[in-house]
Structure 1
Amino acid sequence: MTRKVIGITSTFLTNIFSKPSRLQSKHECFSVKAFPWSTIPQGLDPKKDFRVAFITSKKKLSKLAVHRNRAERRVKASVSIVFPDMAPKGYDYIIYILPSSIPIKWEKLQSQVVQAASRIHHLSRNETIKSSRSRTTQL
């Protein structure tokens, strides 16, 4: 079932880009970075919602808008199917789309999105465990 993916506005992107993130996953067609919400965006629930930004650059992907739009549509459709069920909630995701996302078969693209979501989910659990351990040792 496809659900609408909530986008990130350009005003928030500058704040997100300035933060480093250990939660990232690189694949053949795209790379994903995840950033936990420092403050909860208005109207969103951190237990149910997440936001996604798709980046398609002229320099890396293609100078033709047709190719950039097609790559973005394909990755966006795949993310809207996989991420609502598998990706951690309460995060901002930035997805950098690469040129190989245009000719790749749909099944392979889907499997890469599933791998990215599960990897970020695994990394986010490890990071929350580490942060909770450091809080208990400080007390």
Structure 2
Amino acid sequence: MDAKMDRLRRRREFLTAARGRKWAAPGLVLQAHKRGDTDPLRVGYTVTKKVGTAVTRNRAKRRLRAAAAEILPSLGKPGYDYVLIGRTGTLTRAWPDLLEDLRAALARVHSARRSVSPQGGKADKQRPAKNVEK
């Protein structure tokens, strides 16, 4: 836990991270975006109202912060922005399972495989262009 982890604070930083690679696990969703520099990694946390009341959301964020403090110094990469998004499973998941979710998510977003798309694995659903003849 010696590595310095700066926090994402501005909305723009969160939106930029959302354009990066994503991986959803039962306990959390991880978004990762490579900044292109070698500065220390930065991390942000968010939990929506869908998860519960303010007390519940704050408890979920505390669990995410503790998991990040334990895992990111060893598995996170410098020059990356990470956003950990809390889910309903963040509170109910056993601690070792939550840590494993974060490890697996980091492995997936840093893998060379392209199965993790910028859209979070969603299929491209564009309509074909209509033929317009003149």
> 1:108, CA displacement in angstroms?
0.6
CA contact (8 A) 1:2 1:80 kept: no
Amino acid at match of 1:54: Y
Amino acid at match of 1:9: R
CA contact (8 A) 2:71 2:102 kept: yes
SS across alignment from 2:111: helix
Poorly superposed stretches of 4+, deviation over 6 Å: none
| Aligned partner (choices 100, 106, 113) of residue 117 of structure 1 | 106
Match of 2:78 in 1: 89
CA distance in 1, matches of 2:4, 2:46: 18
Gaps of 5+ in 1: 41-45, 128-139
Match of 1:29 in 2: 27
TM-score, normalised to structure 1, is 0.71
Q: How does 1:1-139 map to 2 (within 5 A)?
A: 1=1, 5-10=5-10, 13-18=11-16, 20-21=19-20, 23-38=21-36, 40=37, 46=38, 49-58=40-49, 60-62=50-52, 64-123=53-112
CA distance in 1, matches of 2:9, 2:51: 22
How many residue pairs get aligned? The number is 113
CA contact (8 A) 1:8 1:51 kept: yes
Q: CA RMSD in A?
A: 2.2
Amino acid at match of 1:29: G
Larger radius of gyration: 2
> 1:121, CA displacement in angstroms?
2.2
SS across alignment from 1:32: strand
Amino acid at match of 2:35: W
Which structure has greater helix proportion? 1
CA distance in 2, matches of 1:72, 1:2: 21
TM-score, normalised to structure 2, is 0.73
Q: Identity across aligned pairs (percent)?
A: 23
CA distance in 2, matches of 1:103, 1:24: 22
> 1:36, CA displacement in angstroms?
1.3
Gaps of 5+ in 2: 115-134
CA contact (8 A) 1:32 1:95 kept: yes
